[in-house]
Amino acid sequence: MTTGLILIAVFFLLVALNVPIGFAIGLATLAALGSIMPLDPATTTLAQRMVAGLDSFTLLAIPFFILSGYLMGAGGVASRLINAAKGLIGALPGGLAVVNIISSMLFGSVSGSAVAATSAIGSFMVPAMKKEGYDAPFAASVTTSASILGLLIPPSNVMIVYAVAAGGVSIGALFLAGYGPGIVAGIALIIAAMLVARKEGYPVSERLSLRESVRTIIPAIPSIAMLAIVVGGIVSGLFTATEASAFAVVYSLFLGIYLHREMKWKDLAGVIIKSAETTGIVLFLIAASTGMAWMLAYSGMPGAIAEGLLTISENPLLLLLLINVILLIIGAFLDITPAILIFTPILLPVAAALGISPVHFGMILILNLSIGLCTPPVGTVLFVGAAVGQTKVAAMIKPMIPLYLAMLAALALTTAIPQLSEGLPRLFGMME
């Protein structure tokens, strides 16, 4: 326990000193190891654990999905998804805000990245909303909150990370499980945005004819089809998640260069470099977090925390409420990938003791930590949204409040109704 306390104390000290999160995790783990062995073997042990953490065929899907997301962004997918959303629901109250939410959800799901969705959709939608009379902080807030939903709607990199951290949960089951919570959260955000738009008197877009609506939807069909092919292939057993991710790269390349023709072969090098940079960051976080998770397990702290939580109350709903509060706080200070790797081994045994399946708990965990991405003080997506919207984070807090409430309502429903997560996996035989 002393080793675990050293680990936690050093980690939060380094975070408070603004040390990059990956280095903070690695240095904290090294400090904890150094308290029980000399520095040289401690360094070697940490390096071995980090390498072992990346020695997984499943994790190979992450760089492929990251690359396919960048290819989608460069290949004109965002503008087509936005036009399709406009054709469907642009004439609703707060139409452009609703278009923003739908577009961010769709692009977030095909790209697998909330940051990419915020950047790509925000660069189109925030200027359009401002031009129509929407306040910049509200426009940026809508983009920020909606982009995280792509982490719940597959293919999702963080679901792959959770599958590894949870000890081999079916990725196909997790992909199917994300649709219920993701759609519920999207509907909650749409309702909140429409209520705000009506209250503030934001303009309504002109209604398109049926022919014009169809004309805007057709170009987006090939992009949306990738979701059906990737998820359908995994669920049917046609290919693994890693093979599906490789297919997504080829498909995205075909869309950008040959179908949409908005990307040239000469652009490919720049896209690969950007995706390699992102992949390096994500995989370093995974490696460092794996080392920290092993060190925590060695210290015995996860078991002690689990036992402590189970002694607080025998009421499952009260314990789930406590877990949600803990995860919301964690998400506000820690990026989603290391948070999943570190806290899954701690909290999953508690969930199992309460009779919660790993699939259902995974959705609770991911939705909680996704909300943290747009929550200060360390909300990565929140800062990206402010930059894209050319506004300040402080100005976004007030318009974010109804959107936070909508996401918390979706979290409450996801927690209380296991069928939202488990319905589709059971229907397709991915869960018993």
pLDDT in tens, 325-382: 999 988 888 888 888 988 898 899 889 888 899 999 999 999 999 999 898 877 888 8
- On whether residue 151 sits in a domain, the answer given is yes
pLDDT at 213 over 80: no
- The number of beta carbons lying within 10 Å of the beta carbon of residue 404 is 16
**Which residues constitute the domain of residue 194?**
58-286+301-427
- On whether residue 213 sits in a domain, the answer given is yes
68-77 b/e (C-beta count within 10 Å ≥ 16 → b): bbbbbbbbbb
Give the span between the Cα atoms of 42 and 340, in whole angstroms: 24
pLDDT at 90 over 60: no
Within 13 Å and on the Cβ side, how many CA atoms surround 236? 9
My answer on whether 245 and 390 are in the same domain is yes
Give the pLDDT of residue 414. Answer: 95
Q: HEC string of the chain? A: CHHHHHHHHHHHHHHHCCCCHHHHHHHHHHHHHHCCCCHHHHHHHHHHHHHHHHCCCHHHHHHHHHHHHHHHHHCCHHHHHHHHHHHHHCCCCCHHHHHHHHHHHHHHHHHCCHHHHHHHHHHHHHHHHHHHCCCHHHHHHHHHHHHHHHHCCCCCHHHHHHHHHCCCCCHHHHHHHCHHHHHHHHHHHHHHHHHHHHHHCCCCCCCCCHHHHHHHHHHHHHHHHHHHHHHHHHHHCCCCHHHHHHHHHHHHHHHHHHHCCCCCHHHHHHHHHHHHHHHHHHHHHHHHHHHHHHHHHHHCHHHHHHHHHHHHCCCHHHHHHHHHHHHHHHHHHCCHHHHHHHHHHHHHHHHHHCCCCHHHHHHHHHHHHHHHCCCCCCCHHHHHHHHHCCCCHHHHHHHHHHHHHHHHHHHHHHHHCCHHHHHHHHHCCCCC
My answer on whether 155 and 110 are in the same domain is yes
For tokens 């509200």, the residue is 138
pLDDT at 400 over 80: yes
My answer on whether 28 and 110 are in the same domain is no
- The number of beta carbons lying within 10 Å of the beta carbon of residue 79 is 17
My answer on whether 170 and 119 are in the same domain is yes
Number of domains in the chain: 2
My answer on whether 122 and 230 are in the same domain is yes
- Sequence letter at residue 302: P
Average pLDDT over residues 66-73: 82
Give the span between the Cα atoms of 3 and 237, in whole angstroms: 43
- On whether residue 19 sits in a domain, the answer given is yes
pLDDT tens profile 120-177: 778 778 888 888 788 899 999 999 999 888 888 888 889 999 998 898 788 889 999 9
My answer on whether 4 and 71 are in the same domain is no
pLDDT at 106 over 90: no
pLDDT at 401 over 90: yes
- On whether residue 189 sits in a domain, the answer given is yes
Within 13 Å and on the Cβ side, how many CA atoms surround 321? 7
Q: State the burial class of residue 233 (Cβ atoms within 10 Å of its Cβ: 0-12, 13-18, 19+).
A: middle
- On whether residue 93 sits in a domain, the answer given is yes
Give the span between the Cα atoms of 326 and 293, in whole angstroms: 17
Give the pLDDT of residue 138. Answer: 92
Question: How confident is the prediction for the chain on average, in pLDDT?
Answer: 86
Joined together, the tokens standing for residue 60 give: 């190979």
- On whether residue 296 sits in a domain, the answer given is no
pLDDT tens profile 277-319: 888 888 888 888 888 888 888 888 777 877 788 788 778 888 8
Joined together, the tokens standing for residue 28 give: 């904290």
- Which of residues 38, 55, 72 is at a domain's end? 55
- Give the dihedral of Cα atoms 354, 360, 362, 368; nearest 10 deg: -90
My answer on whether 213 and 136 are in the same domain is yes
pLDDT-derived band at 206 (thresholds 50, 70, 90) equals low
- On whether residue 28 sits in a domain, the answer given is yes
Give the span between the Cα atoms of 238 and 37, in whole angstroms: 48
My answer on whether 38 and 62 are in the same domain is no
pLDDT at 95 over 90: no
pLDDT-derived band at 199 (thresholds 50, 70, 90) equals confident
Q: In the chain, pLDDT over 70 holds for what percent of residues? A: 96
Average pLDDT over residues 250-270: 89
pLDDT tens profile 214-241: 787 888 888 888 878 887 888 788 888 8
Joined together, the tokens standing for residue 278 give: 């992102």
Joined together, the tokens standing for residue 86 give: 């406009």
Give the pLDDT of residue 226. Answer: 80
My answer on whether 10 and 108 are in the same domain is no
My answer on whether 115 and 263 are in the same domain is yes
pLDDT at 89 over 70: no
Number of residues in the chain: 432
- On whether residue 294 sits in a domain, the answer given is no
